């Protein structure tokens, strides 16, 4: 295995050579943050301080939640949350979706717990039927269900809540993509035992690296404050619980705080861009001799998606089934064609969790992984393609992507 350097990453990132980049973060105007950057810099207060406290209370107001616990990122927050659940439970399994980013699985695995993969539906959301099916026989082993608001679509919250209640297990959410999403006009953040958000570089509210946990549970909130700081209580150095260095930095809190004041506009612009893509993809699917086409995710009724990504799946035009999965050849062909024409894309999320290479090396895993069901997740992974999508994307840039897609469809 050769070592990957930062220079290799730069050299291999097609993004740098692309006419249409995949993503650009929606950052607040520099004039807003500059005086506060300077103050943090001058005082040397880069660790969590007044600006992080300010962010915490702004997020509490925005999401209307009782507690917000800032973290260095969503992955660390989820690891601490799963660690807390493990420490209070005599059950060692957590149910996760078959189709998600690896961090969802890693949060469970780092705690030496068993991840149980249950399949998703055609939109990539953890399927309550699959969860019910597993719980009906194994509820005595399941400490929590960890659902994901995939690509910004709210998970099946009420169905999963009912199952959690029925089978006496916790419900938690990987809300990495959830900032700005709504269900029944309510913002996410108040569901289940806790939700964990990301403010990473590709997220709708981005500060580079950052995350936070939301919960109404006082004990959990207190524990997570400590867990994000090596498990130390105020002024102490003793380690009181399973923990890590999960501190957000003041500079990041400044960016996130100002970014939050623009978030609703950011989401409105994304909905407009999503509408353009949707219309164009429908037209492309109808033109002859289109053999296969990209089908976008359409937000469910009574939901507003943050459109964290513009995620699509490649399907046959006639049968509406997925394209050949053997080696994902057709999706890969399309991805190459787009990139050759200056359009950066991502295969969010390939491979599916059950096919992560690390699973074939149990010695590299912290816990076990049980595959209950994963066939739809596997098909989605083989056929997924996310198109360039970011605030400030120009009409010309979007038209270029659409033009390349039409050319591909007519080939």
Among 22, 70, 73, 252, binds ligand PLP (CB under 6 A): 73
> In the sheet that 211-215 helps form, which strands lie side by side, from edge to edge?
67-71, 211-215, 194-198, 170-175, 142-148, 93-97, 114-118, 369-371
Q: Which of residues 180-219 bind ligand PLP (CB under 6 A)?
A: 198, 200, 211
Among 52, 98, 104, 306, binds ligand PLP (CB under 6 A): 104
Find out whether 128 and 136 touch, Cβ atoms under 8 Å: no
Instruction: Kindly tell me which of 108 and 284 has the beta carbon lying closer to ligand PLP.
Output: 108
Instruction: Kindly tell me which of 120 and 402 has the beta carbon lying closer to ligand PLP.
Output: 120
Find out whether 12 and 230 touch, Cβ atoms under 8 Å: no
- Decide if residue 123 touches ligand PLP (CB under 6 A): no
Instruction: Kindly tell me which of 100 and 305 has the beta carbon lying closer to ligand PLP.
Output: 100
Find out whether 117 and 370 touch, Cβ atoms under 8 Å: yes
> In the sheet that 303-304 helps form, which strands lie side by side, from edge to edge?
186-187, 182-183, 303-304
- Decide if residue 306 touches ligand PLP (CB under 6 A): no
- Decide if residue 100 touches ligand PLP (CB under 6 A): yes
Structure tokens, 148: 């994901």
Among 174, 250, 330, 382, binds ligand PLP (CB under 6 A): 174
Instruction: Kindly tell me which of 118 and 402 has the beta carbon lying closer to ligand PLP.
Output: 118
Q: Which stretch binds ligand PLP (CB under 6 A): 47-55, 133-141, 172-180, 403-411?
A: 172-180
Instruction: Kindly tell me which of 103 and 260 has the beta carbon lying closer to ligand PLP.
Output: 103
Which residues, 6 or more positions from 219, have their beta carbon under 8 angstroms from its beta carbon? none
Q: What are phi and psi of 354, to 5 degrees?
A: -65, -20
Q: Which stretch binds ligand PLP (CB under 6 A): 87-95, 97-105, 223-231, 395-403?
A: 97-105
Site string for ligand PLP, 308-347 (x = CB under 6 A): ----------------------------------------
Q: Which stretch binds ligand PLP (CB under 6 A): 174-182, 183-191, 217-225, 267-275?
A: 174-182
Q: What minimum distance in Å lies between the beta carbon of 16 and ligand PLP?
A: 20
Q: What minimum distance in Å lies between the beta carbon of 244 and ligand PLP?
A: 12
- Decide if residue 74 touches ligand PLP (CB under 6 A): yes
Q: How many residues contact ligand PLP, by CB under 6 A? A: 14
Cβ–Cβ contacts within 10 Å for residue 221, how many? 18
Q: What minimum distance in Å lies between the beta carbon of 263 and ligand PLP?
A: 16
Q: What minimum distance in Å lies between the beta carbon of 403 and ligand PLP?
A: 29
- Decide if residue 352 touches ligand PLP (CB under 6 A): no
Among 75, 98, 169, 323, binds ligand PLP (CB under 6 A): 75
Instruction: Kindly tell me which of 123 and 198 has the beta carbon lying closer to ligand PLP.
Output: 198
- Decide if residue 103 touches ligand PLP (CB under 6 A): yes
Q: Which of residues 245-304 bind ligand PLP (CB under 6 A)?
A: none
Find out whether 278 and 296 touch, Cβ atoms under 8 Å: yes
Q: Which stretch binds ligand PLP (CB under 6 A): 1-9, 71-79, 236-244, 379-387?
A: 71-79
- Decide if residue 148 touches ligand PLP (CB under 6 A): yes
Instruction: Kindly tell me which of 154 and 211 has the beta carbon lying closer to ligand PLP.
Output: 211
Q: Which stretch binds ligand PLP (CB under 6 A): 68-76, 79-87, 233-241, 392-400?
A: 68-76
Q: Which of residues 126-145 bind ligand PLP (CB under 6 A)?
A: none
Interface contacts to ligand PLP, rule CB under 6 A = 73-75, 100-101, 103-104, 148, 174, 176-177, 198, 200, 211
């Amino acid at each position: 295995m050769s070592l990957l350097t930062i220079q290799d990453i730069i050299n291999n990132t097609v993004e740098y050579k692309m006419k249409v980049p995949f993503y650009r973060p929606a950052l607040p105007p520099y004039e807003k943050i500059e005086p506060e950057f300077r103050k943090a810099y001058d005082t040397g207060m880069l660790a969590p301080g007044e600006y992080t406290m300010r962010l915490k209370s702004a997020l509490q107001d925005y999401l209307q939640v009782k507690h917000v616990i800032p973290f260095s990122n969503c992955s660390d927050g989820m690891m601490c949350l799963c660690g807390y659940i493990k420490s209070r439970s005599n059950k060692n399994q957590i149910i996760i979706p078959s189709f998600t980013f690896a961090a969802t699985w890693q949060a469970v695995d780092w705690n030496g717990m068993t991840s149980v993969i249950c399949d998703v539906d055609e939109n990539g959301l953890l399927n309550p039927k699959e969860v019910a099916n597993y719980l009906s026989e194994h509820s005595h082993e399941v400490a929590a269900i960890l659902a994901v608001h995939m690509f910004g679509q709210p998970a099946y919250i009420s169905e999963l809540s009912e199952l959690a209640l029925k089978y006496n297990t916790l419900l938690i959410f990987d809300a990495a993509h959830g900032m700005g999403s709504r269900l029944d006009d309510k913002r996410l953040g108040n569901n289940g035992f806790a939700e964990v958000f990301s403010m990473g570089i590709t997220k709708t509210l981005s500060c580079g690296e950052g995350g936070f946990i939301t919960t109404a549970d006082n004990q959990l909130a207190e524990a997570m404050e400590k867990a994000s700081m090596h498990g130390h209580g105020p002024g102490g150095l003793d380690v009181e619980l399973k923990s890590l260095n999960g501190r957000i930095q003041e500079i990041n809190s400044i960016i996130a705080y100002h970014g939050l004041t623009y978030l609703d506009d950011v989401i409105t612009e994304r909905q407009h861009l999503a509408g353009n893509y949707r219309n164009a993809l429908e037209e492309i699917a109808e033109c002859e001799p289109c053999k296969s086409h990209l089908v976008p995710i359409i937000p469910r009724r009574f939901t507003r998606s943050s459109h964290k990504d513009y995620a699509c799946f490649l399907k046959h035009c006639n049968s509406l089934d997925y394209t050949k999965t053997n080696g994902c050849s057709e999706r890969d062909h399309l991805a190459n064609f787009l990139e050759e024409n200056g359009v950066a894309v991502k295969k969010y999320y390939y491979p599916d969790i059950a096919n992560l290479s690390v699973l074939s090396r149990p010695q590299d895993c912290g816990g076990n992984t049980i595959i209950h069901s994963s066939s739809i997740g596997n098909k989605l992974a083989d056929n997924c393609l996310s198109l360039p999508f970011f605030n400030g994307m120009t009409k010309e840039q979007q038209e270029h992507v659409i033009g390349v897609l039409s050319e591909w469809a007519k080939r």
